[in-house]
């Protein structure tokens, strides 16, 4: 009877060790994949920033890729504290407010691509509140210049 008990404890212990090793292996397999995905994501942001010609003070925040819906959503914002020229005189007045806008961009392979950006409006002492021009689109257009 005590021997049976001992054997049982050894078996349970072995199972636990096996489980632990398995878990560790899983972790070792998952970690590089996660890292790779993170690197890919960063590289994509770099790639898209260059491909779209996004320049300071604009920056690419994130890219959402939805395979099921067949779409790619590119989110752009501007650096905090940035100043933009008044579309009329080019002076850099303070930002009045921002408004989320969406543009249809060229397809990314078979996927529809959209650019989203919080567009600032400047408040010029001479020309009042005006929408800042997006470098990737004609004023008032819902499409990017490349579309
Ligand atoms: Zn002005």
pLDDT at 147 over 70: no
Q: How far away, in angstroms, is 133 Cα from ligand 1 center?
A: 13
Q: Is the pLDDT of residue 115 over 90?
A: yes
Higher pLDDT: 126 or 16? It is 126
**DSSP one-letter string for the chain:** -HHHHHHHHHHHHHHHHHHHHHHHHHHHHHHHHHHHHHHHHHHHHHHHHHHTT--TTEEEEEEEEETTTTEEEEEEEE-TT-----TTT---PPEEEEEEEEEEEEEETTEEEEEEEEEEEEEETTTEEEEPPPTTB-TT-SBBTT-
Q: How far is the CA of 129 from the centre of ligand 1 (A)?
A: 9
Q: What pLDDT sits at residue 50?
A: 84
Tell me how far the alpha carbon of residue 117 lies from the centroid of ligand 1, in angstroms. Answer: 22
Distances (CA, A) of 143 to 30, 70, 104, 115: 40, 18, 5, 9
What pLDDT, on a 0 to 100 scale, did the predictor assign at position 51? Answer: 82
Tell me what the pLDDT averaged over the chain comes to.
Answer: 85
Q: What is the pLDDT of residue 52?
A: 82
How much is the average pLDDT of 118-125? Answer: 94
Pick 15 or 78 by higher pLDDT.
Answer: 78
* Pairwise pLDDT comparison (147 vs 9), residue with the higher score: 9
86 CA from centroid of ligand 1 (Å): 5
Q: How far apart are CA 17 and CA 52, in angstroms?
A: 52
pTM score, whole prediction? 0.67
Question: pLDDT category, 110, cuts 50, 70, 90?
Answer: confident
d(CA 122, CA 133): 10
Query: Is the model's pLDDT at 62 over the cut of 80?
Result: yes
d(CA 86, CA 98): 14
Greater confidence (92 vs 146) lies with: 92
Cis peptide before 57 (omega within 30 of 0): yes
Spacing, Cα 102 to ligand 1 middle (Å): 25
Please state the domain extents for the chain: 1-51, 56-131
């Amino acid at each position: 009877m005590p021997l049976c008990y001992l054997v049982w404890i050894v078996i349970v212990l072995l199972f636990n060790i096996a489980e632990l090793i398995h878990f560790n292996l899983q972790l070792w397999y998952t970690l590089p994949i996660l890292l790779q995905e993170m690197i890919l994501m960063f590289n994509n942001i770099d790639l898209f920033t260059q491909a779209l010609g996004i320049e300071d003070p604009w920056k690419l925040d994130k890219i959402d890729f939805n395979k099921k819906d067949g779409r790619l959503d590119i989110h752009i914002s501007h650096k905090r504290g940035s100043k933009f020229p008044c579309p009329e005189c080019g002076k850099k007045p303070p930002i009045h407010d921002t408004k989320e806008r969406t543009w249809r961009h060229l397809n990314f392979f078979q996927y529809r691509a959209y650019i989203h950006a919080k567009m600032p409006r400047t408040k010029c002492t001479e020309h009042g509140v005006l929408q800042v021009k997006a470098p990737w689109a004609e004023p008032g257009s819902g499409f990017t210049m490349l579309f």
